Chain A
Amino acid sequence: MTQLINIPAQLKKTDLTHLLKQMWQIRFFEEKVDEFFAKGMIHGTTHLAVGQEASAVGSIAVLQERDKITSTHRGHGHCIAKGAEVNRMMAELFGRTTGYCKGKGGSMHIADVDKGNLGANGIVGGGFAIATGAALTSQMKNEGYVVLCFFGDGASNEGSFHEALNLASIWKLPVVFVCENNQYGMSGPAKEMMNVEDVAKRAVAYGVPGKVVDGNDVFDVMNGVGEAVERARNGEGPSIIEAKTYRWKGHSKSDAKKYRTREEEQEWRAKDPIARLRDALIGEGLLTEESAAEIKAAAKKEIEDSVEFSKASPMPTIEDLMEDIYA
């Protein structure tokens, strides 16, 4: 039995089905990638965000198109939520020239700078200062956009977190730091790696607001991030929003998950953010069972199509190796 979530009254009049669509796209994308890794059809490494769909989709749902994000090494969800084409994402994982990075970046480095996705990052904590710098551009050029900086609980123990928070705070930069606390930094449980329960409490040290939201409730995420984005857009500076969530899969493909119990996993599966949103929409009469099934099937087909697109796409040539090192 899934836990219930409430739809905020002001949202009931809007079309919320795109949230469900995106969350399913992310889920199916990740499951497909998982499957292909297992079969050896995709190489390298990858970090899946199954179970964390609400924090990506809810956070980006409150942005305007001109706003920007920086992402993490668990970034497929952020990328899809920011409007990336799943064809080009999947092609990137297949190492093809039609991929977002022409097959040179792979899972950990997908970016779409033109559309405001400043990139996933293979370095834990690598995005904090980049997001801060993008927010500085917004302020100096008076461009009015806000930057969302996604990070994990593990990254909040990196020095770059503290340095960037301090800088963004003193300069009142339009950046919102969104912590997706999925309970583990690789195999390290958050509760063993820091002596505060909430990453959001660390906001006190930088004189910025910090708020905890239910990371498996897309509306709670939208509400928390929405307030912080407004604040940032009004020139009041950064905030930390911490979305408590859980990654269903291991850290990466080689992870046997020995550091956690199956009971714990089951507890969190009962809070499946997609089932909760679906049930809420149906419960409020905003969606029928049939149309929910249609949305799901359409999302699944897009991912299947992206696989076909990727398989049909060309591999880079050896001549491409030395291209794009310098502008």
Chain B
Amino acid sequence: MRELTYLEAVREAMSQEMRRNEDVFILGEDIGVYGGAFGVTRGMIEEFGPERIRNTPISEAAISGTAVGAALTGMRPILELQFSDFMTIAMDNMVNQAAKIRYMYGGKGKVPMVLRTPAGSGTGAAAQHSQSLEAWMAHVPGLKVVQPSTAYDAKGLLKAAIDEDNPVIFYEHKLCYKTTSDVPEELYSIPLGKADVKREGSDVTIVATAIMVHKALEAAAKLEEQGISVEVIDPRTLVPLDTETIIESVKKTGRLVVVHEAVKRGGFGGEIASTIAESEAFDYLDAPIMRLGGKAVPIPYNPELEKSAIPGVDDIVAAVKETLNRH
């Protein structure tokens, strides 16, 4: 099988869906000749033309609402927001309109749209271009929230997101864009709400999201050298959340460490930890659940400060050891 980067996998999913279904189109800032802020749509305007690769003004409130209106009337728009931080400007349309329409219309109408957006730190873009705000969206009934970590997952999950009749927020981590994995050429779908066990293990479960999946796997490899067997689970979608896979894993290992890049306070890790605490897996716990997340600080510019604002591989190793030392 050929290898693709995560970025290429996202592009391939969109291109193949657009060839298959003419209701699918993309709108966003600089997605045309420029190819998008991160190059995800590069080359697509040549194949699909400016009608379907729709370059927009810098106008997040208008383009997010336009996507809602287009979705409500029969299109399947993919909205690219250049940085997930700009969600603040699109917030009304996603939270008050897209998420609510079906329910408040009594089940009439649907909003099949995908909002794709790069999230996370690590590029030196500092406080307004580096946030991880997925917990905001996961909090809102009516939205689905996806966070792929690998190229394979990105392609399959994006296909599933485009097929959804509901609004989906699709977070792409900037540092994942260059990572590669085997990706089938044909279009395939990974159902939303199905976690992936990225590595099997027996001593401790790590639930990690987005770029933290890669760091957790690195940590697991280091820990293996020390005789510690780590299971790494990537939920892949926060809404819906595959609680079953996580619960089963914790019942097996008896220990849970949750890792995400987003600020720990109010982060989605709390939701996962609470889900385990409320479940039958609680009785299998041999130690308190650990949460690792970003510090409660705006992401700073200085590279060393930036790195230390979020969990690193060593932090994960330390957390695993700590949980193994507690009873």
Whether chains A and B associate is yes
CA A283 to CA B270, docked complex, whole Å: 72
Across-interface contacts of B61 in A (CB, < 8 A): 129, 159-160, 163-164
Task: Identify A323's interface contact among B62, B93, B107, CB under 8 A.
Answer: B107
CA A236 to CA B65, docked complex, whole Å: 22
Across-interface contacts of B213 in A (CB, < 8 A): none
> Is B69 touching A133 in the complex (CB atoms < 8 A)?
yes
CA A99 to CA B104, docked complex, whole Å: 11
> Is B70 touching A137 in the complex (CB atoms < 8 A)?
yes
Across-interface contacts of B109 in A (CB, < 8 A): 111, 113, 118-119
Segment at the A interface, from B51-59, B123-131, B229-237, B316-324: B51-59
Across-interface contacts of B67 in A (CB, < 8 A): 133
Q: What 0/1 pattern do residues 221 to 260 of B give for CB contact below 8 A with A?
A: 0000000000000000000000000000000000000000
Across-interface contacts of A99 in B (CB, < 8 A): 106
> Is A129 touching B66 in the complex (CB atoms < 8 A)?
yes
At the interface, yes or no: B110 with Cβ under 8 Å from chain A?
yes
> Is B142 touching A325 in the complex (CB atoms < 8 A)?
yes
Across-interface contacts of B93 in A (CB, < 8 A): 126, 129-130
Pick the most buried of B59, B73, B165: most chain A CB atoms within 10 A of its CB: B73
> Is B62 touching A132 in the complex (CB atoms < 8 A)?
yes
At the interface, yes or no: B71 with Cβ under 8 Å from chain A?
yes
Across-interface contacts of B51 in A (CB, < 8 A): 140
B89, closest chain A residue (CB):
A159
How many chain A residues have a CB neighbour from B under 8 Å? 45
For the A-B complex, the count of residue pairs with Cβ-Cβ distances under 8 Å equals 146
> Is B65 touching A164 in the complex (CB atoms < 8 A)?
yes
Pick the most buried of B61, B62, B92: most chain A CB atoms within 10 A of its CB: B62
> Is A163 touching B106 in the complex (CB atoms < 8 A)?
no
**Given A101-B105, A104-B103, A163-B59, A133:B92 Cβ within 8 A:** no
Which of B10-49 touch A at CB < 8 Å?
Answer: 25
CA A166 to CA B62, docked complex, whole Å: 9
CA A123 to CA B100, docked complex, whole Å: 12
Task: Identify B75's interface contact among A112, A131, A136, A324, CB under 8 A.
Answer: A136
At the interface, yes or no: A167 with Cβ under 8 Å from chain B?
yes
At the interface, yes or no: A102 with Cβ under 8 Å from chain B?
yes
> Is A111 touching B105 in the complex (CB atoms < 8 A)?
yes
Task: Identify A133's interface contact among B70, B100, B112, CB under 8 A.
Answer: B70
> Is A102 touching B62 in the complex (CB atoms < 8 A)?
no
> Is A129 touching B96 in the complex (CB atoms < 8 A)?
no
Which of A116-163 touch B at CB < 8 Å?
Answer: 118-119, 121-123, 126, 128-138, 140-141, 159-160, 163
> Is B102 touching A326 in the complex (CB atoms < 8 A)?
yes
Q: What 0/1 pattern do residues 165 to 188 of A give for CB contact below 8 A with B?
A: 011001000000000000000000
Task: Identify B62's interface contact among A103, A119, A129, A324, CB under 8 A.
Answer: A129
Task: Identify A130's interface contact among B57, B97, B102, B104, CB under 8 A.
Answer: B97
At the interface, yes or no: B184 with Cβ under 8 Å from chain A?
no
**Given A160-B92, A166-B62, A133:B105 Cβ within 8 A:** no
> Is A133 touching B103 in the complex (CB atoms < 8 A)?
no
Give me the 8 closest cross-chain CB pairs, A-B, nearest first. Answer: A129-B65, A133-B69, A163-B62, A102-B106, A101-B106, A324-B107, A327-B165, A130-B69
Enumerate chain A interface residues (CB-CB to B < 8 A): 68, 70, 99-105, 109, 111-114, 118-119, 121-123, 126, 128-138, 140-141, 159-160, 163-164, 166-167, 170, 323-327
A-B contact pairs, 12 of them (CB 8 A): A105-B106, A111-B101, A118-B109, A129-B69, A129-B93, A134-B69, A136-B69, A140-B25, A166-B59, A324-B107, A325-B103, A326-B102
